[in-house]
Amino acid sequence: MTATRWTMQVTGRVQGVYYRANTQKAGADLGLTGYALNLPDGGVEVVAEGDRKNLQALHDWCKKGPPAARVDRIVVTESQATGEFSDFSIRR
């Protein structure tokens, strides 16, 4: 099975609410690799690689986020996985 990469741009109230930490845990629990990164515009970028079923599960989680978050929109870009990640991390 070929791994896929999803880059998700998440907007809403997603900084200062433990969104990255919870996304990192959700991605790791799903066996995905990649990262979550706060963006200067107040959003979060989530880059994840793995199988489509688990990417969809992470996307479903990202739509809700942690309790204090409010997700307004997620834009997903799909590409071929590069295999550059060894785990799911938080980037600063």
List the catalytic residues.
Answer: 20, 38
Q: Region 4-18: what's the mean pLDDT?
A: 98
Cβ atoms of 22 and 66 closer than 8 Å: yes
- What percentage of the chain reaches a pLDDT higher than 70? 99
Q: Is the pLDDT of residue 1 over 90?
A: no
Render pLDDT for 59-91 as a digit per residue (tens, 0 to 9): 999 999 999 999 999 999 999 999 999 999 999
Which domains are present in the chain?
4-91 (3.30.70.100)
Q: How far is CA 14 from CA 4, 10, 18, 35, 55, in A?
A: 25, 8, 8, 15, 19
Specify the pTM.
0.96
Render pLDDT for 43-66 as a digit per residue (tens, 0 to 9): 999 999 999 999 999 999 999 999
Q: Is the pLDDT of residue 7 over 70?
A: yes
Q: Is the dihedral angle over the CA atoms 52, 62, 20, 80 positive or is it negative?
A: positive
Q: Region 37-42: what's the mean pLDDT?
A: 98
The contacts of residue 67 (CB under 8 Å, 6+ apart) are: none
